[in-house]
Amino acid sequence: MGLLSFAKEGMRMYKRHRRFRGFKPFPGDAEQICTGILHDLWNGRYLETDLGNYPQFYARDFGMSLPALLQLGMRKQARTTLNYALAHYKKAGKATTHLSPRGKPINFPAVYSPDSTAYLLRSVRLIGDAKMLQQHKPFLQKIANDYARKALDKQGRVRQHKHFGGMRDHAVRNAACYDTVMAAVVQQECSLLGMQYPFAEIDYKQLLIDEYWTGSYFKDDVNNATLTADANIYPFWLGIINDKQRLQKAVKSIQAKGLDKPFPIKYVATSKEQGRNIWQNFFVKDWEADSVWPMSGLPYIDIVAQVDKKKARFHHQQHERLIEQHHTFIEVFDRNGKPYSSKFFTAGEGMIWCAQWLAQKEKLK
């Protein structure tokens, strides 16, 4: 991401922060509020990521929400959105974290983001459109090859001592567990899409267990035994690890650390455990530390439902109360459960993730 592009994106969000007069309220109960949000996110060309800071396409956010969008009967909008994104990415010859509102591919932070490729491949497979796959397959193979070259070493493992974008994009980590999960996803999706993957023989599931499993949870990266939420949600949520005993232990570890309080989920228990961050973190203190992120909280509820459906319903109802309290779906909260705000930034609103909450409601009945 060039300095000029970063400055423009940052200034756009800062201007919203300066003129902020409160979140746009949607009427009705939580289900009606989320339905209204999804209606407004569709601009006729693509589904925007939110109604505040991010009126654009994000590969990660869209990819995570796609199964729910399909479940909710929004296949046409989702397919059009994915075609829109692939066309712009293809023109630029690369996959990035997001497209600007004008369709320019941008990485934030200004480093390679492996999960963008992982979620794009997964999205194409989930849409299940043979014509789309045929049209974009050469480009998809290119970004898969780029992924292997940029994110992996010669043995097919995540490169060490190299900062990548990802779920906790402010955190500077060393071969993060989350990035190894993404390697497993790229490998899996290449196989399912009939594409080549240079390290098809690697057992990433076993690698995750051998290199990251502590006996009760997955550690953050190869050198850091800190318990983080993303390291213990996504191996299970994305179906890479299908071991119920390990899932139970990971959930119990998350609960013991209090990462699900005041509601799901905080990435680390305290700001002291967040580790080293990029310089932009100055503008959003504790952004990916003990702030509360529904983005990963909803997948957490999904995995909890596999071992304790009563607890999953409780957490889902917590989010329901938040939606109805604020009359929208807020991006991030501070450690006390208040909408996040710093001197430079106000949390987003009307997030596309609300699709996951709606779909989850049906699954938890």
Give pLDDT tens digits for 211-230. 999 999 999 999 999 999 99
Q: How many degrees, rounded to 5, is the angle at CA 173 between CA 170 and CA 179?
A: 95
Q: Using the predicted structure, report yes or no on whether residue 344 has a pLDDT greater than 90.
A: no
Q: pLDDT grade, residue 270 (50/70/90)? A: confident
Mean per-residue pLDDT over the chain, rounded: 91
Residue that wins the pLDDT comparison between 339 and 289: 339
Evaluate whether residue 16 is within a structural domain.
no
Q: How many domains does the chain have?
A: 1
Q: Considering the chain, what percentage of its residues have pLDDT values greater than 70?
A: 89
pLDDT of residue 2: 47
Quote the pLDDT of residue 110.
Answer: 81
Q: What is the domain-level CATH number for residue 109?
A: 1.50.10.10
pLDDT > 60? residue 4: no
Residue 5 lies in a domain: no
User: What local confidence, expressed as pLDDT, does residue 11 receive?
Assistant: 56
Query: Is the pLDDT assigned to residue 274 strictly greater than 60?
Result: no
Evaluate whether 241 touches 205 at the Cβ level (below 8 Å): yes
Does residue 180 form part of some domain?
Answer: yes
What average pLDDT score do residues 85-95 get?
A: 98
Contacts of 35 (CB under 8 A, 6+ apart): 358
Q: Is residue 14 part of a domain?
A: no
**Residue 159 maps to a domain:** yes
Burial tier of 112 (Cβ tally within 10 Å: 0-12, 13-18, 19+): buried
**In sequence order, what are the residues at sequence separation of 6 or more whose Cβ sits closer than 8 angstroms to the Cβ of residue 25?**
326, 327, 328
Task: Give me the domain span that covers residue 296.
Answer: 24-363
Question: What pLDDT sits at residue 185?
Answer: 98
Least confident segment among 40-54, 74-88, 266-280, 290-304 = 266-280
Rounded distance between C-alpha atoms, residue 164 and residue 233, angstroms: 19
**DSSP one-letter code for 238:** T
Cross-strand partners of 171: 277
pLDDT at 251 > cutoff 80: yes
Taking residues 119-141, what's their average pLDDT? 98
pLDDT at site 308: 98
Residues 82-100, mean pLDDT to the nearest whole number: 97
Supply the pLDDT for residue 282.
45
Q: How far apart (Å, rounded) are the C-alpha atoms in residues 86 and 89? A: 5
Residue 106: enclosing H or E segment and its boundaries? strand 105-106
Choose between 276 and 94: higher pLDDT: 94
Cβ 144 vs Cβ 190: under 8 Å: yes
Is 45 among the domain residues? yes
Lowest mean pLDDT among 132-136, 168-172, 184-188, 243-247: 168-172
Using 50, 70 and 90 to split pLDDT, how confident is the model at 3?
Answer: very low
Whether 10 is covered by a domain: the verdict is: no
Cis peptide bond prior to 264, omega within 30° of 0: no
172 vs 246, residue with greater confidence: 246
Do residues 48 and 352 lie in contact, with contact meaning Cβ atoms separated by under 8 Å? yes
The helix/strand/coil state of 27 is coil
**Is residue 8 a part of any domain in this protein?**
no
The residues with which 218 forms a beta bridge, in sequence order, are 213
Examine the pLDDT at 18 and tell me if it is beyond 50: no
Write down the pLDDT at residue 289: 65
Mean pLDDT of all residues in 262-286 = 69
What pLDDT does 169 receive?
A: 76
Share of the chain above pLDDT 90, in %: 83
17-21: list long-range contacts, CB under 8 Å, 24+ apart: 17/341, 17/344, 17/345, 17/346, 20/346
pLDDT at 272: 60
Confidence of residue 284 (pLDDT cuts 50, 70, 90): low
Report the range of poorest mean pLDDT among 96-110, 126-140, 161-175, 279-293. 279-293
**What pLDDT, on a 0 to 100 scale, did the predictor assign at position 122?**
98
Residue 116 has pLDDT above 70, yes or no: yes
Give the per-residue pLDDT at 199. 97
Identify which has the larger pLDDT, 275 or 212.
212
Pairwise CA distance, residues 68 & 61, whole Å: 12
